[in-house]
Structure 1
């Protein structure tokens, strides 16, 4: 019988006297594997437990804020979509035309765009809790007033003015700025999960609103949304602290002597002098042009014009919304791990290429519409967590509210331009091919703008630092 090989004998001799088991004895099996980190020996935990709960353990307060923002965005997104659901009832009961109701929605979007920078600046000054509480109160008031309207001017005041201001306060940019102040690590993933609430509301609350509307009427539906809005007030008050922990960390990152102007005009001048912010501003404006402006406005009309039934078209839009949720979470997770400007460029380029599928739908197969909604859904809202993460490090957390507010305003402007241009091109050519070709072109431009940004995960602030104080003065 052949004896042990030379490698086995060498291992035995090297380990002899050091506590290693001898070759002819079986090594004792441990009940649980142990992991060694430095000089400390830690008990290894199951893989699934580490993956599922490691995020929450590292920052439990921050993830409670994510939960609050997820619920708030779900409610507000449902409120914004509810007027489309109630449109036939408003036409029947009050005799309003569809063009007038659409104008009411447009006025609300204008109010959202105009208030976003102001609300962002207030968030940087007073913190997120006061801003969100005020936004929920204003939104609840808008919903309550909307449930009682009987004249055209009343819906303009209730929904367009009060609702537009409320929607601008409880918005994606405010949610992103709030979460960025609470997270040092996994910021992108947290922002993506919270903003997924803007899509989850369509899936969870909108069917309930539809049920109430068909059973009791549209007035009771708006009262239901007002009650849900008020129910979030104690949750916001209890779980969002007056001063976010992240804000204190932000001051440490920027430096104790970092100069940040107090006036809004000075902050805006400082903001528009930053090349990274200008690149993000251009790409985010195109984001609104290609997403909210074109798809949210013209997708259903295009699908119906291709011969796809209304119910199937609406279902496809719902599938797109579902993939929005996963796309935001995935993009946020990736933004914490890979080069963010490259990731943002890939998102814009892939979004642009997805429009080519729309061009193929009437020519090849209408079933390609399902391929489009999956692909576009993944790359639709996924720009939000990546853009927020870049703003946090390249612009600074101390003015992130104002920064995201400006981005939101230009995003809304791009959306308005996209919706208008889509209608003009369709009226000119009686088809949407020119609309989708324009979307491909500008999306590629957004991808190129993103590539001009340099990756730098070291947070930086604006302004010139004050000269160091003498040691005697510090003493």
Structure 2
């Protein structure tokens, strides 16, 4: 195989001194607001299950299947999105992704059959959301920051929770008082409004404005890497020959199963089964979003200072214990033990992301963002399986209890897997990207 010659690229501006506040923090701020604006689509699936079941008489398994397609594509698109951002730039990829999300969400307003829910919400919104999501956060962090990467990763990861905090109460109120269609339109508009914000304010690389990354040395912007899809697959095959990849993928699959697949999708209908109003259950999910911000930013701070694999083991162990108690906490009204669970679970919700990204970077170097994209794919496949299977279990047994217990046990397995991940010797550099044919 021979190395493909890089495409010519425009010269970067001459390096200059940063201002009092480094431009990297403005890039992080733009990314934060963008992820908040796009988070509306992640807030809606759990609110759709009961209204769609009531209006169309679709089973919860059928609706859960559409959500599972969304979650699976969200993950499977992520590694290609990271490579596409290297090829075409962050702004172009994210702007197109937000437009697809907007189109898919608004199209659901006119659906009359379950296959249309799978197409619009599952395929279109899944592809759009997967084309940015955490791959966007990882790429912005890797390009703009050398120091404080753990902290910035935590902040950008928390942006999704902040968006949930902003949109979930509004969407639940719309569903309760006006039906699910106005909520779907709101999601569409929220994604569309962010597009010009991304296009006008975000820059792809610090060299575009003549700066070094925060805490690093100036480097010219690299030439676009051709063959984005081929590169993503090549990185997968390379990473798949290593043990840490499978351990990270396995733990993150369980992370997705116990968060997006289970709690985010099924907590509201599960609480409603016990007589809790939808708005109250959605409010509890929003509170998870509040404490998720705190927990994820703190996790980023911890990741800069402590061993990442040990942090992961602690996070998964605590999450598993909390899930085992959830079935006995369900009640018609909100009570202190349930509030304690919500706060505890919120602090742990995506605290796993900063140490997982750090381990991808530690073991795979420059390929770390794309490897994390594949690890994120496993997260979403795990979420997709549980989103579907939990709905089937509810239809079959009339209760979610078995699913909560099984998810708690899986988290214990994830804690053990995290501890098995070996540490990379500090003196051993990560292997370079495989040559392209």
TM range (shorter): 0.7 to 0.9
| Whole-angstrom CA distance in 1 between matches of 2:88 and 2:253 | 28
SS in 2 for 1:185: coil
The yes-or-no answer on 1:170 pairing with 2:170 is no
Deviations 1:49-106 (A, max 9, x none): xxxxxxx9886322222222222222332123335546676678x7463545444333
Structure 2 Cα separation of the partners of residues 114 and 388 of structure 1: 17
Q: CA deviation at 1:382?
A: 0.6
Distance 2:180 2:167 in 1: 14
Residues 115-154 of structure 1: matches in 2 within 5 Å? Answer: 115-147=77-109, 149=111, 154=116
Aligned to 2:38: 76
Matched, 1:291 2:253: no
Whether 1:273 and 2:237 are equivalent positions in the alignment is: no
Residues 295-314 of structure 1 aligned to structure 2 (within 5 Å)? 295-304=263-272, 311-314=279-282
Paired position in structure 1 for 2:344: 375
In terms of Rg, which structure is larger?
1
- Aligned-pair distance for 1:458? 7.3
Residues in 2 aligned to 1:156 and 1:139: alpha-carbon distance in whole angstroms: 14
In the other structure, the counterpart of 2:432 is 463
Aligned equivalents of 1:185, 1:440: Cα separation in 2: 35
* Counterparts of 2:278 and 2:196, CA distance in 1: 40
Structure 1 position 97 matched with structure 2 position 58: yes
The match for 2:319 is: 351
- Aligned in 2, Cα 1:273/1:359: closer, same or farther, shift over 3 Å? same
Tell me the TM-score normalized by structure 2: 0.77
The equivalent of 1:413 in structure 2 is 381
| 1:383 Cα deviation from its structure 2 partner | 0.5
For the Cα contact (< 8 Å) 2:317–2:415, is it kept in 1?
yes
Structure 1 unpaired stretches of 5+: 1-55, 253-259, 467-475
State whether residues 293 and 416 of structure 1, in contact with CA within 8 Å, keep that contact through their aligned partners in structure 2. yes
Residues 296-349 of structure 1, C-alpha deviations (whole Å, 9 max, x = no match): 344344445556565544433332222111111110111112222211211111
Offset of 1:153 from its aligned partner? 5.4
Distance 2:300 2:191 in 1: 27
Inter-partner Cα distance in structure 2 for 1:360 and 1:216: 32
Counterpart of 2:72 in structure 1 is: 110
Q: Does 1:65 align with 2:27?
A: yes
Q: Residue 250 and residue 462 in structure 1: after superposition, are their counterparts in 2 closer, same or farther (change >3 A)?
A: farther
2-structure distance, mates of 1:250, 1:105: 44
Structure 2 residue aligned with 1:400: 368
Q: CA RMSD in A?
A: 3.9
* 1:35 counterpart residue number: none
Q: Are the equivalent residues in 2 in contact too, given 1:339–1:455 (CA < 8 A)?
A: no
Relative to structure 1, the CA distance from residue 58 to residue 124 in structure 2 (aligned partners, 3 Å threshold; closer, same or farther) is farther
Displacement of 1:190: 0.9
Q: Return the alpha-carbon distance in structure 2 between the equivalents of residues 437 and 91 of structure 1.
A: 25
Q: How many residues align?
A: 403
- Matched-pair contact (CA < 8 Å) for 2:58–2:114: no
Hey, what's the Cα distance between the residues in 2 that align with 1:428 and 1:155? Answer: 22
1:439 CA displacement: 2.7
Deviation of 1:384 after TM superposition, in Å, equals 1.0
**Aligned mates of 1:228, 1:310 — CA distance in 2:** 22
Structure 2 counterpart of 1:384: 353
CA distance in 1, matches of 2:88, 2:190: 25
CA separation of 1:272/1:205 partners in 2, compared to 1, >3 Å: closer, same or farther? same
Q: Matches of 1:283 and 1:103 in 2, distance apart? A: 23
* Range moving further from structure 2, 342-351 or 261-270: 261-270
Q: Within 1, Cα distance between the matches of 2:117 and 2:238?
A: 39
Change in Cα spacing, 1:212 to 1:133, as seen in structure 2 (3 Å) is: same
Tell me if the contact between 1:277 and 1:395 (Cα under 8 Å) persists in the aligned partners: no
Tell me, yes or no, if the aligned pair for 2:320 and 2:412 is still in contact at 8 Å.
yes
1:284, distance to aligned residue in structure 2 (A): 0.8
Deviation at residue 426 of structure 1 after TM alignment:
6.0
Q: Distance in 2 between matches of 1:83 and 1:427?
A: 18
1:77 and 1:459, CA in 2 relative to 1: closer, same or farther beyond 3 A?
Answer: farther
Q: Return 5+ residue gaps in structure 2 as ranges.
A: 1-17, 220-226
Distance 1:244 1:449, change over 3 A: farther
- Normalised to the residue count of structure 1, the TM-score between the two structures is 0.72
Q: Name the structure 1 match of 2:153.
A: 191
Instruction: Give 2:304's aligned residue.
Output: 336
* Residues 181, 244 of structure 1: 8 Å contact kept: yes
